[in-house]
Amino acid sequence: MPFQHPVLYGQSIAENPQNKMMNILHYMNKVLADTGYLARTEAITVADLAAYATVSTISATEVVDLGSYDHLETWRRNCMRTIPNYEKANGNGIGRVVRFYKEQAKHATDRE
């Protein structure tokens, strides 16, 4: 979870000079405006599946509000509906990741 790492140690996203996540999200949002899929196809591809795990983690941990990325947020919701066995493949695990992340972030804050 490279994007969540700074938050675990009390840094904000803006304070992390190595973080290019915002640029990547902006680019993804722009690409998704064409067809709604990352490979600019008419259907979901492995590119969408690969990127979805990271984007869903970003969304679930609330590191970035994806609401300002309208095409990305639409794509994320669409992937949730169309990925076969979504709950089994990602939905159940994301809850554990979020609980772990929030616990670690709390400990990092308590150490300050």
As a whole number of angstroms, the longest Cα–Cα distance in the chain is 49
Residue 19 in this model has a pLDDT that exceeds 90: no
Q: Which CATH architecture has domain 5-111?
A: Up-down Bundle (1.20)
pLDDT over 70 (residue 1): no
The better pLDDT of the pair 7, 55 is held by 55
Residue from 25, 28, 27, 38 nearest 79 by CA = 38
Q: Where are the domains of the chain?
A: 5-111
Quote the crossing angle between the two packed helices 70-82 and 21-35, to the nearest 10°. Answer: 70
Read off the tokens for 51. Answer: 């990127």
What backbone phi and psi angles, to 5 degrees, belong to 90? -140, -40
Token duo for residue 16: 């992390």
| Model confidence pLDDT, tens digit, residues 43-88 | 999 999 999 988 988 888 887 888 899 999 999 999 989 888 877 7
